[in-house]
Amino acid sequence: MEDIKDLVLNYVINEYQEDEDDEITYDTPLISSGFVDSFSMVSLKVFLEKKFNISIPDEEATPEAFDSVNKIVDLVNGYLEKK
């Protein structure tokens, strides 16, 4: 479980952190706080689908579901359990 969390966190930091002063943790709001705009969220969805070999329907890839690393991990785990 921790591996997935760190994997997602590292991706989010590498992909979205613009300013090194900004700290991104597991609970940092990503979309509602403006770290990730909804347009850039697409690359996160593609990363998750490729990395975990899952398919996330657009209606479930909502800004709310992607709003923190913890929420993303919950979403991913839901799909992994169904596999």
Partner 1 sequence: MSYSNKVKDLYVNQLKDIKSAGIYKEERFIHSSQAADIEVEFPRGSDLKNVINMCANNYLGLSSHPEVLKAAHEGLDTRGYGMSSVRFICGTQDIHRELENKVTEFLGTEDTILFPSCMDANAGVFEALLTSEDIMISDRLVHASIIDGMRLCSAEHDTFKHSNMEHLEQKLQLHADKRIKMVITDGVFSMDGDLAKLDEMVKLCQKYDALLFVDDSHSSGFIGKTGRGTHEHCGVMGKIDIITTTFGKALGGASGGCVSGRKEIVEMCRQKARPYLFSNTISPVVVAGVLKVFEILSQSTERRDKLENNTNFWRKGLSDAGFVLKEGNSPIVPVMLFNAKLSQDFSKDLFNLGIYAIGFFFPVVPNGQARIRTQISAGHEMHHLEKALDAFIKVGKKYGILGLTKQEIIDKYGL
- Count residues near partner 1 (CB under 8 A): 13
In the block, tokens 């697409």 appear at 42
Q: Which amino acid is at 75?
A: L
Residues 17-76 that bind partner 1 (CB under 8 A): 18, 21, 33-35, 37, 39-40, 42-43, 46
> Could you tell me which of 36, 45, 5 has the C-alpha nearest to residue 18?
36
Instruction: Give the binding range for partner 1 (CB under 8 A) out of 2-10, 12-20, 56-64, 71-79.
Output: 12-20
Q: Tell me which residue of 69, 2, 74 sits closest to 31, measured CA to CA.
A: 69
Binding residues vs partner 1 (CB under 8 A): 15-16, 18, 21, 33-35, 37, 39-40, 42-43, 46
